[in-house]
Amino acid sequence: MFTSSLLTALGSIITAFAPSLAVFLIGRVVTGVGAAGIFSVSIILVVQLTNPKRRGLFIGMLNTGFTIGVATGAVAAGAIEPAMGWRSLFWMQVPLAVLAGSTLLIAIPASLSADDSQKYRSQSILTKLASIDYIGAALLISTICLLLYGLSTQRIAILPIILSLILFPLFLYQEIYASADPIIPVTVLRSRGALLTCLATLGFMMARWGILFYTPVYAAAVRGWNPAQSGSLLIPTNLGFALGGLIPGAVYIRRAGSFWTSCLVVFALFPATTGLLVGVATDTSPVWVVVLVVFANGLCAGAALNYTLAHVLHLVLPEVRFIVTSLLATFRGFAGTFGSAIGGGIFARALKASLEKGFEEHGVTGKKALIRELLGSPRVVRQLNGIEREVAVRGYIDALRALWFSAVVLVCFMWFIQAGTGWTAPKILAEEEDGFSNREDTSR
């Protein structure tokens, strides 16, 4: 965790002082490596250090920490960037990352249990690094990047998609047959519950990130809010996300067992609230209605993540729970990338089509430069007047509705994927849960 925090800080430094786009992107890669370590390991630690009666509460607290960071960062960035520039948004993260990492270094125990593998702990760093499946990682990254590039452009690029489809079977072959220690254990994904939970979480969180990324865009382009005000629209949805994780975790997820029905309920409520957002995303809807809808949407999302994690731990054998937890975190991480890239492609294509149609209907020509500017930033809308502003606002409303309606369809499909996980767990010894509880009571 400490090393991951230092990588996050290093990536922020590279990004903040990048002289070119290429160096900027390298900085984001380094930051992503650090953030992935923090994200994945934190969930594993919570699962390993808590018993089933309190696991839901602590997972809810962890998700609350994540969502507070998202909401606070959005508001702070909107206020700081106009005054100090975009570079300050990155170098300001460095002392925070170092401080957080140092705190974790002191707080987290060196050994989580008395039966840690002595063989693994005695291995050198070089030995551990040599065991990483670099070929599998390269194939997976290439597959994802090519697919996202093909789907995120204003016009869908066929060749990158075809190349990604060629590389994906090579990745599967590497993981199943060639690698001794695959980065994604395909044997674990042969469990129906684990595989379908990961896929359902991927689709669900793709839709969620489509809302998180574009509610500030709605506020800026349609409502005409400044950057800080636009970022503040994330506060109610992230407050709902936090409560959605905490309340079920504290009140209901207090046992080891199936939460199949609960998962399906929240997977049904989420697209319902997203559909409401499609309806109220106008320039005349009362602000309090929009706030209420995004709050309800966040509430469903927070509950869904907590319930699905508790349910998948019920569906798999105890000895692979930590692998499955890590995989679930990995798919959640993929969802942010997929949601922003694919959702951005849907949004950009819908916005461009609506703007061109709007100007054509009003008999206005020569607006290609303005359309490019509007595709690049919602702030441009605030600088317009008359017909130009009317067409721009309508274009953004149409694009947001297209994006969020796509999210509704996606999560409705994910409902069936989640339903396919079932509710039957493998046979395990009852003493496993009791023994964990007894050990925790003794340690206290």
Three-state secondary structure call for residue 117? coil
SS3 of 180-222: CCCCCCHHHHCCHHHHHHHHHHHHHHHHHHHHHHHHHHHHHHC
pLDDT digit string (tens) for 378-389? 989 988 888 999
Domains by residue range for the chain, with CATH: 2-108+183-423 (1.20.1250.20), 133-182 (no CATH)
pLDDT digit string (tens) for 185-212? 777 777 888 889 999 999 999 999 999 8
pLDDT tier for residue 56 given thresholds of 50, 70 and 90: confident
What is the predicted pLDDT for the residue at 430?
41
Q: Quick one: how many helices (H) and strands (E) in the chain? A: 19, 0
* Residue spans of alpha helices (H) in 50-175: 52-84, 86-91, 93-107, 118-121, 125-130, 134-152, 158-173
User: CA 443: distance to chain centroid?
Assistant: 35
Collect all residues with Cβ–Cβ distance below 8 Å to 126 and sequence separation of at least 6.
none
pTM: 0.78
Please give the Cα distance from 73 to 93 (Å, whole number).
10
Arithmetic mean of pLDDT, 154-167:
88
Collect all residues with Cβ–Cβ distance below 8 Å to 123 and sequence separation of at least 6.
none
Residue 287 corresponds to which tokens in the numbers above?
């602000």
What is the predicted pLDDT for the residue at 107?
84
Collect all residues with Cβ–Cβ distance below 8 Å to 374 and sequence separation of at least 6.
351, 355, 380, 381, 392, 395, 396
396: left (phi over 0), alpha (psi -120 to 50) or beta: alpha
pLDDT digit string (tens) for 165-180? 999 999 988 888 888 8
- pLDDT > 90 in the chain, percent: 43
Q: Are 91 and 13 in contact (CB under 8 A)?
A: yes
What is the predicted pLDDT for the residue at 427?
65
> pLDDT at residue 314 above 90?
no
Q: Which residues of 142-169 are buried (b: 16+ CB within 10 A; e: fewer)?
A: bbbbbbbbbbbeeeebeebbebbeebbe
Please give the Cα distance from 2 to 258 (Å, whole number).
35
Q: Kindly write down the DSSP assignment for every residue of 356-406, as one continuous string.
A: HHHHHHTT----HHHHHHHHH-GGGGGG--HHHHHHHHHHHHHHHHHHHHH
What is the predicted pLDDT for the residue at 124?
76
